[in-house]
């Protein structure tokens, strides 16, 4: 981890978003803004979740901005109530917050931060890429201004979690993802289901969270209990994948990649059963576009690292 970097987080809270934010805030890195996008829940719900979460964390100093209510083309896809609950937090209600949201939209705030911090700014995208695509439309030089972007999304050889081939963040706004992947970033890392499903969080891990004396950690443990139950039909054995927390760990260099490959990325759009499928074209190590990479394996195992960082 490097204290010289600052972080903009774009998310759609979301239970694993909450666990990722809990982890990120405990690492001590500087989070300069959190943008909210449609995805697991509607933007208004996600923004309220974020505000309540930060209030309980004692971090009302972090500005929250509202982003895209709908994908680039079409309407909000309806969210992931089965996995995250209708409210995004598995029915776990946090106290209301008096937070005042940012006057700028998420995309405008991201452009502002890119000009303010330049390559010191790292983007962590934990939801659909609607806000990131909108920011690029407003400022085409954004991908070269910022230091890097870490994106949780997509599936390479792993099965999708919405359709047989499509992962939820990409499926929720495939046109935005295609736009984001089509521009030359200084450094883009895709964190797909192939690697996130290698890092699991168990019922025993969650019991350690629940035993914390910190009120926010206790509430997140209640959320994760809902998530564990929702994941049981797919993964069995009382485990859930650490999708968003792993993206955070890679973005702050807490988990080191042992298999990362240069590639080209694109997304299938249009009226097709393959809508939202991420297409990965591998390149030679010295490929001209090697600044776009896909993460396929990393160590150490995230769950113990996450729990230790949170103090559990």
CA angle 294, 295, 298 (to 5 degrees): 165
Would you call 243 a catalytic residue per the annotation?
yes
Q: Token match 């950690």: residue?
A: 217
Burial label for 62, CB within 10 Å (0-12, 13-18, 19+), is middle
* Cβ 224 vs Cβ 209: under 8 Å: yes
* Ramachandran category for residue 235: left, alpha or beta (phi over 0 → left; psi -120 to 50 → alpha): alpha
Give the bridge partners for 169, in sequence order. Answer: none
* Cβ 31 vs Cβ 62: under 8 Å: yes
Check whether the bond before 300 is cis (ω within 30° of 0). Answer: yes
For CA atoms 304, 308, 309, 312, the dihedral sign is positive
Round to whole Å and give the CA distance between 88 and 81.
Answer: 7
Round to whole Å and give the CA distance between 71 and 53.
Answer: 25
Residues 6+ apart with CB under 8 A from 164: none
- The string of DSSP letters for 238-294 reads TEEE-HHHHHHHHHTTSSEEEEEEEEEEEE--SSSTTTTBEEEEE--TT-TTTTEEE
Could you say which of 84, 165, 199, 243 is catalytic? Answer: 243
* Cβ 142 vs Cβ 113: under 8 Å: no
CA angle 182, 184, 190 (to 5 degrees): 70
Known catalytic residues are 243
């Amino acid at each position: 981890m490097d204290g010289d970097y600052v972080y903009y987080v774009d998310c759609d809270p979301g239970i694993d978003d909450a666990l990722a934010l809990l982890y990120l805030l405990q690492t001590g890195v500087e989070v300069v803004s959190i943008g909210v996008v449609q995805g697991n829940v509607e933007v208004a719900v996600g923004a309220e979740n974020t505000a309540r979460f930060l209030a309980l964390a004692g971090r009302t100093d972090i500005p929250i901005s509202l982003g895209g209510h709908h994908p680039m083309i079409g309407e909000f896809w309806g969210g992931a109530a089965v996995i995250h609950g209708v409210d995004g937090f598995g029915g776990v209600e946090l106290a209301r917050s008096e937070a005042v949201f940012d006057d700028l939209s998420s995309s405008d705030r991201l452009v502002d931060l890119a000009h303010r911090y330049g390559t010191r700014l790292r983007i962590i995208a934990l939801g659909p890429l609607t806000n990131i695509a909108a920011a690029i439309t407003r400022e085409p030089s954004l991908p070269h201004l910022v230091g890097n972007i870490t994106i949780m999304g997509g599936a390479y050889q792993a099965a999708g979690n919405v359709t047989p081939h499509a992962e939820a963040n990409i499926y929720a706004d495939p046109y935005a993802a295609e736009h984001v992947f089509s521009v030359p970033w200084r450094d883009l890392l895709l964190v797909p289901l192939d690697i996130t499903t290698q890092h699991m969080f168990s019922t025993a891990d969650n019991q350690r969270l629940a035993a914390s004396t910190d009120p926010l950690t206790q509430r997140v443990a209640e959320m994760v209990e809902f998530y564990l139950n929702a994941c049981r039909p797919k993964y069995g054995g009382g485990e859930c994948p650490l999708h968003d927390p792993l993206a955070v760990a890679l973005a702050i260099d807490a988990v080191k990649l042992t298999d990362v490959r240069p590639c080209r990325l694109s997304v299938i759009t249009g009226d097709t059963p393959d809508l939202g499928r991420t297409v990965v074209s591998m390149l030679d190590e010295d490929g001209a576009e090697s600044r776009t990479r896909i993460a396929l394996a990393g160590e150490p195992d995230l769950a113990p690292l996450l729990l230790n960082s949170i103090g559990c």
